[in-house]
Structure 1
Amino acid sequence: MGGNGAGGANAEKRPNELLNSWFVRSGWSKGELARQVNRRARQLGAHHISTDTSRVRRWLDGENPREPIPRILSELFSERFGCVVSIEDLGLRTARQTPSTAGVDLPWTAPQTIALLGEYSRSDLMLARRGFLGTSLALSAGPSLIEPMQRWLVPTPAAQVPDSEPSPADRTRNKLSGPELELLESTTVMFRRWDAQCGGGLRRKAVVGQLHEVTDLLQEPHPAATTRRLFKVAAELAELAGWMSYDVGLQPTAQKYFVLALHAAKEAGDRPLGSYILSSMSRQMIHLGRPEDALELIHLAQYGSRDCASPRTQSMLYAMEARAYATMGQPGKCKRAVRMAEDTFTDADDWDEPDPDWIRFFSEAELYGENSHSFRDLAYVAGRSPAYASLAEPLMRRAVDLFAVDDEHQRSYALNLIGLASVHLLRREPERSTVLAEQAMRVAAKVRSERVNTRIRKTVDTANREFGDLAEVVDLTGKLAVELPEAAEAV
């Protein structure tokens, strides 16, 4: 059984009490955990992994498995419990990591940001086909995540971005014209459109490749204004690479790109863009069951961009604040944030300057969708409250109607369809829920998004648990297996 041996001899192994505790609470059998490890390893390209029940028993008895198994176990238990379960939480030692993959507390300097962007994007391009990059990282959460991100607000010396013009020799060797810069910026816009329409799985490696090219350009001398524009492009591409990674389920990889994107945005001097990147990190934390961390990130984004972000951006931040409060079960603060999101959005059309492309996705449909999900989440936290479900339903319906005529945001259409299906389950209306779930499956079949597929599967599982004897639910379950089979390996 290659690749599954212990990390070193241990004559007096003791049972791994932490791993045993998580394992017992998971409800898995040893054979089931072994099968899941093997399945995930195959998805990652680690075909040498072949785990069985006896190997799982040895882990529980204190044997330390070699990489990438600790990372796989961390991901599996995190997904099982809906929160970050680190390698340390499982009582497994952490392999020594290189600076490019160790945590999120990175130096806030331009040269270091360029070096890490280049190293990380190159590693991703080289290793993504085998999937090992995602398993070489650990998610950060709590103070280890929040405290380094707070340094985004600390001023950095202006000398980090050179104010002098390049020498004549440098200018001859590396000419980057205005049209070339504009082409780089427009290519980023194109990638963002593809992501919204087709999901994160289709063009992720193309985005990473473009980021690596921009990083190469940043290593050459340029006028200060050009350098800042290149950092801005790098920040947008890194955020998009992170978003796509999040969308296909590569959570540690996504977080690393988000952190690097925030560093690049700081070097570009673009605080609204930085606030947007922090909102993406916040959304990931909500997804991972860390709403307190999500709220800290959103408050950091709001504080850092309060005097420069457009109304549309501020409205989006309020909507994400509402999502965090909803998941925390704080209805009063959630409702206040929902109202602030709605009120601020009304000022978007009167804003004097055009919004940057990265926030144009936040349309009226997105606003309705986010706020309806906040009320839906409140309903779950409040013990399936019909009152909050009733608040969610008309908003979600409006979002679905608007996305139905929007060909550019098919992933959002699918997410809101399945969101509305979950609201109808809360309202004990399974027949209406199954119709919407089938619509969501048809849209999801066109979108490579494991996030969408996972939400559909969870909603169908809920329908099965509560209304499993209903003919419509039986039919829906059969269609799910046909129309949304197990996701292919993310690229």
Structure 2
Amino acid sequence: MGGTDDTSGGTNGGAGGGSEKQANAKLGSWFVRSGWSKGELARQVNRRARQIGATHVCTDTSRVRRWLDGEQPREPIPRILSELFSERFGAVVAIEELGLRTAHQPPATSGVDLPWAAPQTVEMISEFSRSDLMLGRRGFLGASLALSAGPALVEPMQRWLVPAPGGAPQGPLAAVPAARGSRPTRLSGPELDLLESTTVMFRQWDAQCGGGLRRKAVVGQLHEVTDLLQEPHPAPVAKRLFRVTAELAELAGWMSYDVGLQPTAQKYFVLALHAAKEAGDRPLGAYVLSNMSRQMIHVGRPDDALELIHLAQYGSRDSATATTQAMLHAMEARAYASLGQVNKCHRAVRMAEDAFSDSLPTEDPDWIRFFSEAELNAENAHSYRDLAYVAGRSPTYASLAAPVMNRAVELFAADSEHQRSYALNLVGMASVHLLKAEPEQASDLAGRAIDVAKKVRSERVNTRIRKTADAALRDYGTVAEVVSLRDRLRTELPDDAQAAARTAV
């Protein structure tokens, strides 16, 4: 099949053009280091395009060769290539680093350095959620975004703590957009209660079913709430609406992260932080920053993760509950572990445990109630496991991780409301057994994770299982249990490319 994706700009000369293309040395360098063949890269581009709904993309080896020769592909190809190489190398690989150009991005759907003011926050969330609902299915929204990192991310987030200019009141006491020619709408107390309880329900669904099942419903609810915010309300009502908006935007970001839409997730997190500031809710803002920190660890930017979590801790130091403080310390430990800073990691783990011992669940907002004893053990175990990897597969840290991870698995096994977390920690325990050179036990745990993964819709879970199975095959490919795990994955949890091949047959 030929290259029928119609994704190349054709701006580098052609028949009779008088100018010749120059090979894309930057893309070529990344491509060679990746170890991929042209066919494999083409297959991965097609698979990712299907995931984001860009069904018009159908590339092949000849198209990849033309990119390497200097042809500039059209969107969404540059964004897809950036994501694929970022995942391959465990760090953000920007489009520009690949020698590619991206299309002009409208202000509302690009970047994270946004104005910190109520009217603009409402407008940006409304426009972004509408774009997600209308265009995301066809892939154009995700293709218009890039993942920010380094100072370009951290410095704008630091303005979360900056007071409004001129001593003007912050949050909903500041100007709220005027109504658009309609009568003022005053929400009743029961209506506000219903909006808040709906957000709780969405959060429960996410924990039980993964981000892939209800993401669009959350985005739709977020858009409806921003419509309400464009009408005049008393300050207490506006404050509650901004808090609901922040929680929904955070949840939309989390669900996007769970299904692998990293730039979209980051944009929702940023908008959630803006809404939390307008609500005057520092602990909620700190929670949003903790998710941004987790995402930075995921994409191989632990230094950015540490700065974000320290910003969260500083901003909520006098207002966060003990449970929230414990969660922030646990995320701090994860960042230190990824950086290989052993003593600081141990200290953060101890502080997380100490803070959690002071938890009073009756004081906690709903969004932090997920952070149970099981979650505490899971985070700390992953910190020890990450230390083991950074230290060259250290058996010492693997042995530290094992009992803590095992406790997390035991607790999640008895918790029917957090099946995704159960699956993730089964995979985490499998990775610990691989570090301890125990492939049989690792395969058994990964197999149990497959059983749970089939009940939830989480690309994050599926990817973790596949990566663990790949590691087992690489190191213990002749072990019967590992071979059996590989076969189960192919039939019961295939990736998009495998599923498409089976369907074609």
Shift in Å, 1:453: 0.6
What does residue 420 of structure 2 align with? Answer: 411
What does residue 134 of structure 1 align with? Answer: 142
Tell me, in whole angstroms, the C-alpha distance in 2 between the residues paired with 1:72 and 1:251: 11
In structure 2, do the counterparts of structure 1 residues 69 and 369 end up closer, same or farther at CA, with 3 Å as the change threshold? same
Shift in Å, 1:436: 1.0
More displaced 10-residue stretch of structure 1: 122-131 or 224-233: 122-131
What does residue 503 of structure 2 align with? Answer: none
Where do 1:365-444 residues align within 5 Å? 365-444=374-453
| Identity level (%) | 74
What does residue 471 of structure 1 align with? Answer: 480
2:365 corresponds to 1:356: yes
Where do 1:9-408 residues align within 5 Å? 9-10=12-13, 11-156=19-164, 157-158=168-169, 161-162=172-173, 173-349=184-360, 354-408=363-417
The one-letter amino acid of 1:283's match is R
Q: 3-state DSSP class of the match of 1:452?
A: helix
For the 8 Å contact 1:450–1:487, the answer to whether it is kept is: no
Shift in Å, 1:108: 0.4
Q: 3-state DSSP class of the match of 1:96?
A: coil
Shift in Å, 1:78: 1.1
What does residue 480 of structure 1 align with? Answer: 489
For the 8 Å contact 1:163–1:223, the answer to whether it is kept is: no
The one-letter amino acid of 1:483's match is E
In structure 2, do the counterparts of structure 1 residues 248 and 487 end up closer, same or farther at CA, with 3 Å as the change threshold? farther
RMSD: 2.0
For the 8 Å contact 2:5–2:59, the answer to whether it is kept is: no
What does residue 4 of structure 1 align with? Answer: 7
In structure 2, do the counterparts of structure 1 residues 334 and 166 end up closer, same or farther at CA, with 3 Å as the change threshold? closer
Tell me, in whole angstroms, the C-alpha distance in 2 between the residues paired with 1:116 and 1:468: 50
In structure 2, do the counterparts of structure 1 residues 439 and 397 end up closer, same or farther at CA, with 3 Å as the change threshold? same
1:77-121: CA deviations, max 9, x gaps? 111112111111111112111011221000001111000000000
More displaced 10-residue stretch of structure 1: 479-488 or 150-159: 479-488
Shift in Å, 1:50: 2.6
Q: 3-state DSSP class of the match of 1:202?
A: helix
Tell me, in whole angstroms, the C-alpha distance in 2 between the residues paired with 1:153 and 1:487: 43
Shift in Å, 1:14: 2.1
Tell me, in whole angstroms, the C-alpha distance in 2 between the residues paired with 1:362 and 1:99: 36
The one-letter amino acid of 1:381's match is V
Tell me, in whole angstroms, the C-alpha distance in 2 between the residues paired with 1:154 and 1:304: 10
The one-letter amino acid of 1:373's match is H
What does residue 16 of structure 2 align with? Answer: none
For the 8 Å contact 1:170–1:221, the answer to whether it is kept is: no
For the 8 Å contact 1:166–1:223, the answer to whether it is kept is: no
What does residue 502 of structure 2 align with? Answer: none
Runs of 4+ in 1 over 6 A off after TM superposition: 163-171
Tell me, in whole angstroms, the C-alpha distance in 1 between the residues paired with 2:489 and 2:300: 26
Shift in Å, 1:162: 4.2
The one-letter amino acid of 1:231's match is F
1:421-466: CA deviations, max 9, x gaps? 1101111111111111111110111010010111111111111111
Shift in Å, 1:43: 2.9
Tell me, in whole angstroms, the C-alpha distance in 1 between the residues paired with 2:80 and 2:175: 48
Q: Where do 5+ consecutive residues of structure 2 fail to align? A: 14-18, 500-505
Q: 3-state DSSP class of the match of 1:423?
A: helix
For the 8 Å contact 2:423–2:453, the answer to whether it is kept is: yes
Shift in Å, 1:354: 1.7
TM-score (norm 1): 0.96
For the 8 Å contact 1:294–1:324, the answer to whether it is kept is: yes
Q: 3-state DSSP class of the match of 1:158?
A: coil
Shift in Å, 1:166: 11
Aligned length: 487
In structure 2, do the counterparts of structure 1 residues 166 and 86 end up closer, same or farther at CA, with 3 Å as the change threshold? closer
TM-score (norm 2): 0.93
Tell me, in whole angstroms, the C-alpha distance in 2 between the residues paired with 1:75 and 1:169: 40
1:394-433: CA deviations, max 9, x gaps? 0001111111110100011111111011101111111111
In structure 2, do the counterparts of structure 1 residues 199 and 2 end up closer, same or farther at CA, with 3 Å as the change threshold? closer
In structure 2, do the counterparts of structure 1 residues 215 and 13 end up closer, same or farther at CA, with 3 Å as the change threshold? same
1:13-40: CA deviations, max 9, x gaps? 3221111110110111122212222222
Q: 3-state DSSP class of the match of 1:89?
A: helix
In structure 2, do the counterparts of structure 1 residues 160 and 470 end up closer, same or farther at CA, with 3 Å as the change threshold? closer
For the 8 Å contact 2:257–2:265, the answer to whether it is kept is: yes
More displaced 10-residue stretch of structure 1: 319-328 or 88-97: 88-97
In structure 2, do the counterparts of structure 1 residues 166 and 386 end up closer, same or farther at CA, with 3 Å as the change threshold? closer
Tell me, in whole angstroms, the C-alpha distance in 2 between the residues paired with 1:357 and 1:373: 24
Tell me, in whole angstroms, the C-alpha distance in 1 between the residues paired with 2:152 and 2:9: 29
